[in-house]
Amino acid sequence: MFVSGAAALPGLALARAPITRVVPAFVVLFLSYGLGQALTDVFQTDTDALSAPERPLVQGTIDKRTVLVASLGGLTACAAVIVLLSPAAALPAAMAIVMLATYTPLKRRWWGGPPWNSAVVALLPLLGRMAGGAGLAEALADGAVRAAMVSSFGTYAVFVLLGYLKDVEADRATHYNTVAVRFGRRAAVVWSAAFATLGLAASGWLVHPRLTVSAATALWSVGAVVLVGAHVLAWRSTTDNDAWPGIQASVHGFVAIHLGEAAAIEPRWTLVAWILFGASIVAMVRRPVRRQV
């Protein structure tokens, strides 16, 4: 959930909206990642049964119908809040839900999964900006919003591509033809580095007029360094079980970069951004299965 919260926050910062809009928008956009993850998990129990047998859906502790209803209902409720704040946001909000629901078939194709999943995350800063009261055309006309979208797209593709490294054997057995399955682990890292370059370039363009010697700059810089380091760790990975350090670093880097963007745009939010980053680290450390990120 820190992933979607961090991605949305630069859009909210660009909106310069009152706190009465920022808080409800941030809460529902923060929750959206968890609900979206639950939705995609419903359709991927075949590969999860091999790579993540401890998951409740795989074990049958909870059933698919319950998770499907809860996730779609929750995402719809989140979209409704955003639409109440900005009726024009109905289209991108609906697009995000549909794209999440159709992700699994795209994941089976090496060329489809990373851009499709990343495009969903790229909609979050747009939704954040629109929640501040902007229409769709107005938000898309803002170069800073477009940069935030490209930044989220590129840096999230890193997590997608490196994330596949923990499931190579399971994906191969269940016919998910990911980049790592088709071309190999290091090819996935190279592709990820290309997306990272795109994301960091867009992020740098977004924040460079605002970078000063500040805590916001420090947070953004931590994210950029950690995201680069994620590729070094991933390059050393040779099996599914040792892929997690690079994947973990990609999440930390993603969260720090986008929280840093928000803090650079709206310096009053710097303390909150650092608190959110610290909380994301605690959440990661406390995850129940180390190899799963």
Side-chain-facing half-sphere of 262: CA atoms under 13 Å? 30
What confidence score (pLDDT) does residue 116 get? Answer: 97
Question: What are 58's two structure tokens?
Answer: 């795989």
58 belongs to a structural domain:
yes
Q: Is residue 160 part of a domain?
A: yes
CA–CA distances in Å: residue 221 to residues 68, 255, 281: 38, 12, 16
Q: Token pair 């939704």 is at which residue?
A: 127
Structural domain containing residue 91: 2-285
- Write the secondary structure of 133-194 as one string of H (helix), E (strand) and C (coil): CCCHHHHHHCHHHHHHHHHHHHHHHHHHHHHHHHCHHHHHHCCCECHHHHHCHHHHHHHHHH
Q: Is residue 234 part of a domain?
A: yes
Per-residue pLDDT of the chain (293 residues; tens, 9 = 90+): 999 999 999 999 999 999 999 999 999 999 999 999 999 999 999 999 999 999 999 999 999 999 999 999 999 999 999 999 999 999 999 999 999 999 999 999 999 999 999 999 999 999 999 999 899 999 999 999 999 999 999 999 999 999 999 999 999 999 999 999 999 999 999 999 999 999 999 999 999 988 787 999 999 999 999 999 999 999 999 999 999 999 999 999 999 999 999 999 999 999 999 999 999 999 999 999 888 88
Split into its structural domains, the chain has a count of 1
Q: Would you say residue 291 lies in a domain? A: no
pLDDT at 21: 95
With respect to residue 290, please indicate whether it lies within any of the assigned structural domains: no
What is residue 293's predicted lDDT score, i.e. its pLDDT? Answer: 87
Long-range contacts of 209-218 (CB under 8 A, 24+ apart): 210/264, 210/265, 211/264, 214/264, 214/267, 214/270, 215/263, 215/270, 215/271, 215/274, 216/260, 216/263, 216/264, 216/267, 216/270, 216/273, 217/260, 217/264, 218/260
**What pTM did the predictor assign?**
0.96
Structure confidence at residue 209 (pLDDT):
85
Residue 180 domain-assigned?
Answer: yes
d(CA 241, CA 167): 9
Residue-level pLDDT at 164: 97
Q: What is the pLDDT of residues 113-125, one digit of tens each?
A: 999 999 999 999 9
In three-state secondary structure terms, 67 is helix
Whole-number Å distance between alpha carbons of 250 and 237: 14
In a domain, 293, yes or no: no
Tell me whether residue 35 is in a domain.
yes
